[in-house]
Each structure stands twice: as C-alpha cells, then as structure tokens.
Amino acid sequence: MCHDRFRWAAAIVMCSGLVASGCTRQSTDDGAAIASTARGTHDSTAPAKGVPTRKLTVFAGSGAMAALKEIGPLYEADSGIEVDITSGGSGSLLTQFVQEQFGDLYIPGSDDFMDKAEAKEAVLADTRTTLVYLVPCICVAQGNPRGVKGLHDLARTDLRVVLGEPKAVCIGDISEAVLREKGLWDKVQPKVASFGSSCEDVLNKLLLGEADVIIGWDSFAKQNPDKVEAIPIEAKSARVRNIPAAVIRWSTQREAAEAFIEFLTSPRAMEIWEAQGYTTKPPASASSCPS
C-alpha cells in the first residue's frame, strides 16, 4: 500500500502543503525516476482474468498531483490495488516511460503532451479520457505588489521571471508559445531567473518569494487564494487546456488501468479535483482566470 519510500530531487524545494506524498515518487531533473520496482520485459497483452492486479504504475505531471495524491490512496482503499505514482515534468516522464517501455497510465499536466504521446504511439488512443480543465495565466503574489498587468511586463528588468522548462514541462511549452505569439520571447527568455523542472517547481518559486511573476495555471490561484493572484493572458496560444489520462502502450493490465481512469472521473474523484482548484467543466474561455 502507499508508504513513504522515495527520495525527492534535492534541487526542488517543496512548499508545505504542496509536496506530493504517500504513494508517489519524484522524477529527477534528467527525467529518470527513483525506482524501487524491478524493470522487466513487458508485452501489450492484458493479464488473464482471475489473476489479481496488485499495483498500477502511473506517470503523472506534477500539475495534476494536488488531486492525485488524495485520489490514489482513496482508490487503493476501495480496490486493494496499489497506485504507484511517479511525478515530474510531463515531457521528462514521457521520455522516461517510452525508453523503459513500462507503465500503466500516463496523466500529463496538459493535453499537448498527450498529443505527443499519441504521435509516438506510446499510449492507447482509444483509452484517452479528459479529466479536468486548466487555463494558462500570469501568476503573481496576492495583491500584485509589482503592478504586473500583462505579458509585456515580463520583459521588465526589475522583475524576477520564472517559467517552466520548454519541452520538459507542459506550462513551459505554453509559456514559450504565448510569448512568441506576442513577439516577446526573445526579450523575456534571456532575463528569465530560472526555468522550473515541473509545474510544482514553478509555483513554489512564487510561493517562496523567489519569483515576482510566473506563467502558470488558474488552479495555482484557486489552490492558494491568500498567496497567488492570476491575471488572464490575452493570446490565442493561451487556450483552455485539459488534463487527460490514457493507458500506456506497454501496460500488461489494460483492464485494471481503464478501471482507474473510470474512477478518476467518478463523482467521488471529481469532488477532490474541484476541491483542489481544478475546473471540472469546460471553461467558457481562456479569460476565466480567477482574480
């Protein structure tokens, strides 16, 4: 069952209440997970009926962990099946499980990385399911003490800007896309204070006072209403995104993996998603960031 048995990457400073605990392990910066499970050779056939499934291996973007760290143990208690979650940057995780050809479920922090997984034929496309919705936003400390009004302010020399690492973190790719769309990438990129290795890492920089402004998700402000304020991004690239789930191609237990996806969209799970600041119904537009 869930227990603390994983070492966390030392470079990532965790903020109280945000650290994914229980049945999780953290992907290291180079995308390799700290693993305790022996890797073997797996085929894509489901186990014979009647053979008990004792553990599901899930690769989940850290942007989804606020809810998954509660939903995983709940499912374990109901089903008796251990949910072993490796969290980190969605791109790094995708690279990892493709290289290892191992795992049961992929839950990236944004749908664009699921598109990449499908393009690599790394997941079973017919199992892809949308769980919840997210809106990219500019995030600042509550009260907006530095007077940030929009994307153009990220080029200011007096602001410490933190973004997600492009190609490794879903919000990093989105940050680059919206800044390029507005002709700001070449101005902002050279002055970025640091690039976060996961969505959680980017948020923590703001919460710990190491950043004045970040590009993150609307859920950051909903999860931390007394500490984070969100500012809408006026850009086509800042479209509404979603967190999806799909069965990994090399899973040997498709039926059990699909059962967990079904649980992730159940009313009980949706209450947890919503309580953790995720939007369970499609937002009307990308201008729906909470203030």
Same domain, 165 and 260: no
Same domain, 74 and 153: no
Q: Largest Cα–Cα distance of the chain, in whole Å?
A: 63
What is the chain's pLDDT, residue by residue, as a tens digit (291 residues)? 443 333 333 333 333 333 333 444 554 433 333 333 333 333 333 444 444 468 999 999 999 999 999 999 999 999 999 999 999 999 999 999 999 999 999 999 999 999 999 999 999 999 999 999 999 999 999 999 999 999 999 999 999 999 999 988 889 999 999 999 999 999 999 999 999 998 999 999 999 999 999 999 999 999 999 999 999 998 888 888 999 999 999 999 999 999 999 999 999 999 999 999 999 998 876 555 665
Q: Is residue 281 part of a domain?
A: no
Q: Is residue 282 part of a domain?
A: no
Same domain, 56 and 126: yes
Same domain, 181 and 247: no
Q: Is residue 123 part of a domain?
A: yes
Question: How far apart (Å, rounded) are the C-alpha atoms in residues 182 and 161?
Answer: 17
Per residue in 74-96, pLDDT (tens digit) is: 999 999 999 999 999 999 999 99
Same domain, 149 and 247: no
Number of domains forming the structure of the chain:
2
Side by side, which strands form the sheet with 82-88?
24-26, 82-88, 55-61, 105-107, 241-247, 129-134
In 115-220, DSSP assigns E strands to 129-134, 136-141, 161-164, 192-196, 213-217
Same domain, 115 and 149: no
CB 33 within 8 A of CB 102: no
Q: Is residue 287 part of a domain?
A: no
CB 163 within 8 A of CB 202: yes
Q: What are φ and ψ of residue 119, in 5° steps?
A: -60, -30
Same domain, 43 and 167: no
- The two tokens of residue 122 are 């790394």
Residue 242 host element (H or E): strand 241-247
Question: How far apart (Å, rounded) are the C-alpha atoms in residues 192 and 152?
Answer: 14
Same domain, 141 and 233: yes
Same domain, 158 and 246: no
Same domain, 76 and 53: yes
101 — alpha (psi -120 to 50), left (phi > 0) or beta?
A: left
Same domain, 188 and 258: no
Question: How far apart (Å, rounded) are the C-alpha atoms in residues 263 and 74?
Answer: 10
Q: Is residue 13 part of a domain?
A: no
CB 166 within 8 A of CB 175: yes
Question: How far apart (Å, rounded) are the C-alpha atoms in residues 169 and 196?
Answer: 8
**CATH at residue 163:** 3.40.190.10
Q: What are φ and ψ of residue 131, in 5° steps?
A: -95, -60
Q: Is residue 283 part of a domain?
A: no
Q: Is residue 8 part of a domain?
A: no
Domain coverage including residue 154: 134-238
Same domain, 93 and 184: no
Q: Is residue 33 part of a domain?
A: yes
The predicted model scores a pTM of: 0.74
Q: What is the pLDDT of residue 16?
A: 36
